Amino acid sequence: MSVRLKLTLSYAGFLMLAGGLLLGAVWFFTLRHLPEFTNVPGGVLPRSILLRDLASAAGAVLLLLLMFGLGGGWILAGRMLAPLTRITDATRLATTGSLSHRIRLPGRADEFRELADVFDGMLERLEAHVAEQRRFAANASHELRTPLAISKALLDVARTDPDRDIGEVLERLHSVNTRAIDLTETLLLLSRAEQRSFTRERVDLSLLAEEAAETLLPLAEKRGVTVETSGDITPAIGSPTLLLQLTTNLVQNAIVHNLPGQGSVWVSTSVGPTTVVLAVENTGERLSPRMVSTLTEPFRRGTERIHTDHAGVGLGLAIVKTITHAHDGTLTLTPRSAGGIRVTVELPAPMHGPG
């Protein structure tokens, strides 16, 4: 049976039960106080006739109650279940791949309205996630196709031109192949962070910041950028490898996207009441808040997509965002008024316990 039919039968059953109890009470008191014979105009009426008339009237009333309960219950159940029908229709559309539909249930706030609003919010987040994944897949395919196409062109040239310098071809093939490997490894790292398939350990963000700054010091010196680190011991819980990758990506981005020859990068760590903070700030060109909000999307490199010697694969901040979320943290990007950007990563502070 459908839910509507079950509710209808329930309404009718309760109505019949209430009517039956009421008529039973009348019947009981009638039997208790009704005399054997009752004087009526024109003669004497025996109690048996009165009880028979009362039983006939009670049967008619119960029949009317049954009809009223079934009809009214069917209408009321339909009105009450109408929101559930809209939610079911939206669910069917979602299962076919249509995620743009919204229920937008009108009326006062109740359980159905709350369910519809939660479902609308889920559809909105799912639609945004699917769109982001589609953009990511398209961009990844484009990025991977480029080195493969270049490799094919180099091999075709080397095969058709016997006088071509093989050493130069091999050098260019090595460079292109290295870029393709870096992109593939980065995609695997991104997938690993999204699946949270890592072991959590106790780490010190201040040591990771110093290690990342020391590793990238040659790049900073080559570009004329000074890197300063500060902060006390900053304990956190997570994957040392992923958190080091996060810190390295932030520092490298801060060095690369900076003022050439006169830039600065500041890396700091701090401990709050409930969170630990890693902040990377740099000088550079002025960025609008709208531009900054898109920098964590995959394959976005500020205002350009030009491949330079250290342009990376366009996944630096996307990896930072994924690693941060995998560690239940928050990532905040804020443009500096003087130019450049400040990136803040907040992670939950470890619970203090024995050992």
State both tokens at 25. 């009470």
pLDDT at 213: 93
Q: What residues have CB less than 8 Å from 307, skipping those under 6 apart?
A: none
DSSP H or E stretch at residue 129: helix 111-160
pLDDT at 344: 95
Centre a 10 Å sphere on the Cβ of residue 251 and count the other Cβ atoms it contains.
Answer: 28
pLDDT at 171: 83
Pairing of strands 201-204, 43-46: unpaired
**Whether the Cβ atoms of residue 294 and residue 335 lie closer than 8 Å to each other:** no
318-342 pLDDT, tens digit each: 888 888 988 999 999 999 988 899 9
State both tokens at 157. 């040239």
69-96 pLDDT, tens digit each: 888 888 888 888 888 888 888 888 888 8
Burial class of residue 277 in the structure, from the number of CB atoms within 10 Å of its CB (0-12 exposed, 13-18 middle, 19+ buried): buried
Q: What residues have CB less than 8 Å from 322, skipping those under 6 apart?
A: 190, 193, 194
φ, ψ for residue 61 (rounded to 5)? -65, -45
Centre a 10 Å sphere on the Cβ of residue 243 and count the other Cβ atoms it contains.
Answer: 26
141/348 Cα distance (integer angstroms): 35
pLDDT at 42: 66
Query: Mean pLDDT in each 10-residue stretch from start to end of the chain (355 residues)?
Result: 81 86 81 70 73 83 87 85 84 82 81 86 85 71 74 81 77 81 74 75 94 91 92 91 89 90 93 93 89 74 44 68 90 91 93 51
Of the candidates 329, 143, 302, 303, the one whose C-alpha atom is nearest the C-alpha of residue 246 is 329
Of the candidates 218, 215, 243, 213, the one whose C-alpha atom is nearest the C-alpha of residue 230 is 213
Secondary structure letter of residue 286 according to DSSP: -
Burial class of residue 56 in the structure, from the number of CB atoms within 10 Å of its CB (0-12 exposed, 13-18 middle, 19+ buried): exposed
pLDDT at 302: 52
Q: What predicted TM-score, i.e. pTM, was given to this entire model?
A: 0.56
